[in-house]
């Protein structure tokens, strides 16, 4: 009889352990990184331009960080630190999994900013199904999903006031028939991308023109002029690239939509944007540092904010100076058959977008992970390009900047003044934003 009683108790204990529900979903940082990667994949699929992509990265990253900042007293909300941002509501129950809410809020905001919503919805369904299978208490699951909805609605309402929707209705850019002004470039001869991006609300910097760089060199094709020298520097460099320079240019190409022409055939290839490349570097830094999920959300938030403001600053200058591209000048005045190594993107030359955004992102990441911070960049492996190694984020941003000269799409002042513009902006940004109490 005693043995039967013991067996009955054992069965009860086993059944209890099988039906006992978890109070925590055990969300590891890898889930956040995979979710960010899914967003990047959709950005590539939907062919967002580099400035627009930076906006798509920023708002979901801020949503996830704001949720996670509540879980650690050493982290600080960005409420009152970002333009017109008053924070998110706190949950009304303690039966909630903040990590789960952070991931779902990220997905919700991301879905609202892309075209292929179904791709993120599929990911979200699979993710929640796995959480259920792992045994999370249903009340906690439902509370976490409901809170994520409140957070994402708050972030999206804030995003709708950044003037993005209004700029969709503004007048298209008018190409000026002047010798020093930007002209559409081959092979696609696309119209200018995002001419009104400087009117988007900034996240941290005071205004789009706060970091206006030095004026570009005055257009002058006299053989003794500074501008002519800059043109010839691009031309001669393009004609004498070594293997390393060519590899650097291709590694940092990051053109989201390249037209390939072979004979009479024409086809397009899609890649990550420059901002997407730096978001991947942020992930690499998190993984190398074994950063927990809150530090990882902070890394993505700060990096994406730096990228977003840098694009606003750079695009404000591009359409102010409206400078002609090297390819156009060289074809008109020097060599009608010359082609740059990289395809010239469809917007004015000055300043170099890669230089500005890389300078800003490098400063942001250095503020978190320090200098030196050796890392291996595998961002372009998926596109058939080899890894590259850097001793610091500064070294990576320097190489990203000079890659545009090797690629034949920028004069040197756009690169040198662009990297200064980006680093000045980045330094201002990290001086204004406080993410940790002891910062």
Give residue-wise pLDDT tens across range 20-38. 789 999 999 999 999 999 9
Between residues 416 and 14, which one has the greater pLDDT? 416
What is the structure's pLDDT at 384? 93
Q: Can you list the domains of the chain with their CATH numbers?
A: 204-432 (1.10.606.20)
Mean pLDDT of the chain: 94
What is the structure's pLDDT at 2? 39
Question: Is 276:357 a contact under the CB 8 Å cutoff?
Answer: no
What is the structure's pLDDT at 267? 75
Please report, rounded to a whole number, the percentage of residues in the chain having pLDDT higher than 70: 95
Phi, psi of 44 (to 5 degrees): -65, -45
Q: Which structure tokens are listed for 197?
A: 């991006």
Q: Residue 210, Cβ neighbours under 10 Å: how many? A: 16
User: E strands along 109-159, which residues?
Assistant: none
- The full DSSP string for 249-311 is HHHT---SSEEEEETTEEEEE----HHHHHHHHHHHHHHHHT--HHHHHHHHHHHHHHHHHHH
Least confident of 13-17, 101-105, 298-302: 13-17
What is the structure's pLDDT at 5? 35
Q: Is the pLDDT of residue 161 over 60?
A: yes
pLDDT-derived band at 268 (thresholds 50, 70, 90) equals confident
pLDDT-derived band at 271 (thresholds 50, 70, 90) equals very high
Q: Angle 149-157-53 (CA atoms, 0-180°, nearest 5)? A: 90
What is the structure's pLDDT at 264? 64
Euclidean distance between CA atoms 192 and 323, whole angstroms:
12
What is the structure's pLDDT at 7? 47
Helices 393-406/274-289 angle, 10° precision? 160
Give residue-wise pLDDT tens across range 173-231. 999 999 999 999 999 999 999 999 999 999 999 999 999 999 999 999 999 999 999 99
Euclidean distance between CA atoms 191 and 346, whole angstroms:
7
What is the structure's pLDDT at 60? 98
């Amino acid at each position: 009889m005693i043995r039967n009683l013991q067996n009955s108790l054992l069965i009860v204990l086993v059944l209890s352990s099988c039906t006992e529900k978890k109070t925590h979903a055990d969300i590891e940082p890898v889930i956040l990184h995979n979710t960010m990667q899914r967003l990047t994949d959709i950005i590539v699929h939907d062919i967002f331009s580099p400035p627009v992509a930076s906006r798509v990265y920023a708002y979901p990253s801020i949503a996830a960080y704001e949720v996670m900042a509540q879980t650690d007293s050493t982290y600080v909300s960005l409420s009152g630190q970002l333009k017109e941002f008053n924070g998110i509501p706190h949950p009304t129950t303690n039966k909630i999994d903040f990590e789960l809410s952070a991931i779902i809020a990220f997905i919700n905001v991301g879905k609202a900013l892309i075209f292929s919503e179904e791709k993120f919805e599929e990911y979200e369904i699979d993710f929640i199904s796995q959480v259920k299978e792992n045994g999370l208490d249903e009340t906690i699951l439902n509370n976490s999903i409901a809170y994520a909805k409140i957070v994402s609605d708050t972030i999206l309402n804030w995003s709708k006031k950044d003037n993005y929707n209004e700029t969709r209705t503004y007048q298209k850019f008018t190409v000026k028939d002047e010798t020093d002004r930007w002209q559409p470039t081959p092979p696609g001869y696309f119209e200018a991308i995002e001419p009104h991006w400087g009117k988007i609300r900034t996240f941290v910097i005071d205004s789009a023109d706060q970091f206006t760089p030095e004026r570009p060199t005055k257009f002058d094709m006299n053989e003794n002029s500074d501008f002519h020298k800059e043109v010839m520097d691009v031309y001669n460099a393009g004609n004498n690239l070594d293997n390393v320079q060519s590899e650097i240019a291709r590694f940092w190409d990051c053109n989201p939509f390249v037209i390939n022409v072979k004979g009479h055939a024409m086809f397009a290839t899609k890649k990550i944007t420059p901002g997407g490349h730096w978001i991947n570097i942020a992930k690499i830094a998190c993984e190398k540092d074994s950063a927990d999920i809150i530090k990882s959300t902070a890394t993505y938030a700060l990096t994406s904010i730096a990228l977003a403001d840098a694009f606003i600053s750079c695009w404000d200058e591009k359409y102010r100076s409206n400078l002609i591209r090297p390819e156009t000048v060289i074809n008109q005045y020097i060599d009608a058959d010359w082609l740059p190594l990289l395809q010239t993107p469809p917007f004015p030359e000055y300043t170099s977008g890669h230089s500005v955004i890389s300078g800003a992102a490098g400063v942001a990441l250095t503020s978190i992970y320090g200098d030196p911070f050796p890392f291996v960049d595998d961002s372009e492996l998926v596109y058939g390009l080899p890894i590259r190694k850097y001793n610091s984020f500064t070294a990576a941003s320097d190489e990203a900047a000079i890659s545009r000269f090797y690629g034949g799409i920028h004069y040197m002042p756009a690169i040198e003044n662009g990297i200064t513009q980006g680093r000045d902006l980045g330094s201002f940004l990290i001086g204004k934003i406080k993410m940790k109490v002891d910062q």
